[in-house]
Amino acid sequence: MIVARAWAGRHYAVLGLARSGAATVRALLAGGAQVTAWDSDAAKRAAILPEPARGGGPAKPVEGQMRDGSASAPPPSLRDGPPPQAKLGEDLVVADLETVDLAGFDALVVSPGVPLNRHPLAAKARAAGVPIIGDIELFAQARADLPPHRVVGITGTNGKSTTTALVHHMLETAGIPTGMGGNIGLPILAQEPLPEGGVYVLELSSYQIDLTRSLDCDVAVLLNITPDHLDRYDGFAGYAASKARLFAMQAPDHCAIVGIGDAPSAEIARDLSRTRGATVVKIAPGVCMDQSRWPSLQGPHNAQNALAALNVAEALGVPGEAIDRALETFSGLPHRMERVATLGGVAWIDDSKATNPESTAPALAAFPRIHWIVGGRAKGDDLDACMPHIGHVVRAYTIGEAGARFAEVLRPHVPVAEAETLERAVKIAAQEAQRGEVVLLSPAAASFDQFRDYEHRGAAFRAAVEALA
């Protein structure tokens, strides 16, 4: 795992013990820190405890107690050196952080899902003067202890995951040691350090950037900014400012790559150009690229993603032949324009990750004749972002809570079947789609009305398609 010598002897509070939180606790302990951790889920609290404490043996803890019996004072100082295993009640304490005095902590480490603008613990930490950080900031602090390496940070409202995975694939294709983390893949602190010359490729949400103070990316990428997550920010301007902080942390001689297809991103690019000149690469919209040999990178949005990844790879010195080979062999990501089958000449595409109209629009632009499965729990009452490409839709099949509303919106423009369920939509589309056409699940809505998440919805789509065969 990745650890930092700077953590030794420090005391951290960790809120949230899912994958990244659990990895954070283990890395901090391995680095010689003391940790007070909490999660509202008792199973996650139990999973983070040392093995002897889980089975009911003599080491079983009393949650919330420190070694001296208090619930507020930091534990005594660490023994010398990193602990081979946390000493319960010394190095690791499980305690409800809302009952603990945070004043003695060096930082509060939270998951990106914690709403900093309204969570009471965030307000409590700020009042105590305690920094609020995330695992990406801890990675930034650990960089000095890692073999010489470079870091790529990629953000944007849409396209982050595909671009991150594509850059990672380009590096792998070129034989360059690389790791992928952040908002994708294995938590970054749980990964083994790369050898000298390696490249860490990080997908960074605005939430993760908010929790990061010192990540100087050798290459920083902003793909686009469209309205999203506005409940966490002081309007759209606040959300855009969060994205721009990725460049504020960056040394001015490091490479900045910015898509300029929307006004906020273009303004950020102009500001950077005024101060940094040639280190800024701008990606204009609508660049014509031959995508015919890139089966998993179809549509104008993927042309932009590919162009961003290509510029990153060139900035890192990846040979051109490796870039070309990677574009041809990239397999894409699950539930993001993923071809799950071709039956009778009809392609079946899973784009379940498209949970708003803005992310569905590029999928509609990617194919000339589409049978579109749309609906779920809507994030709004309109499909305006999709309308420029509605001419590609042969028929729409609406599902879920938003089905009736979306049918009303679409019916003046295209034939509509109110299928209600995904399984029924697949069966109807199978009867109507012709050779050369595409059946596209790109719901433009969240999944929580009928599914656990977008991955569950995508898996259900695949199962329904496989049942046809």
Where in the sequence numbering do the catalytic residues fall? Answer: 160, 183, 229
| Both structure tokens of 206 | 């605005």
Contact indicator for 305, 170 with CB cutoff of 8 Å = no
Which backbone phi and psi does 178 adopt, to 5 degrees?
Answer: -150, 150
What is the pairing mode between strands 132-133 and 338-343? unpaired
